[in-house]
Chain A
Amino acid sequence: AQSVTQPDIHITVSEGASLELRCNYSYGATPYLFWYVQSPGQGLQLLLKYFSGDTLVQGIKGFEAEFKRSQSSFNLRKPSVHWSDAAEYFCAVGNTGGGNKLTFGTGTQLKVEL
């Protein structure tokens, strides 16, 4: 069965600093990978997705992620963090058996210091 690991539960960065959130997946074939962001009391918003092709994926709000098959990783990055980026970030993998089921990691809570 597929699984996703986000090793960092909490991360604190200063505004303007760079950010990298880690994600490792377990999947038997070419994965469909996603990063979502959740603000307090809200649903999830898609930041970016990887299906195939270019391993560096650009998303909304200045985020990007790089798919590395050899490391089973899909880390999320942003060159300069803004205070409004404080939220919880979830990495997810699409279902092996078809359909739209997503398997999520446990999430990384990002705090931004001003």
Chain B
Amino acid sequence: DTGVSQNPRHKITKRGQNVTFRCDPISEHNRLYWYRQTLGQGPEFLTYFQNEAQLEKSRLLSDRFSAERPKGSFSTLEIQRTEQGDSAMYLCASSFGGSSGNTIYFGEGSWLTVV
């Protein structure tokens, strides 16, 4: 068990470019979450996957954002035509579903800076 892995850890991109983040959850975890965190704030929910199905998307997830989890394993979060307001840390988390009492483990996060 190597924990939730995210990469890249840091990304600096020019406004208008596309970026993609990858998350490898803990193996056997069927639930996967993406959160966004800005300085001085707590993480905000973006989207949730159960296996390969994306079951909920926050209103924060504009049309420029897309997340996938093919085969129910790793997940990607793509941001198209990045804007300065997208600068934040993107956190991935996973848990083993089946009941409500399971621990949710977070990755180290991926920092995005849009210049």
Q: Answer yes or no: do A and B interact.
A: no
A interface residues with partner B (beta carbon < 8 Å): none
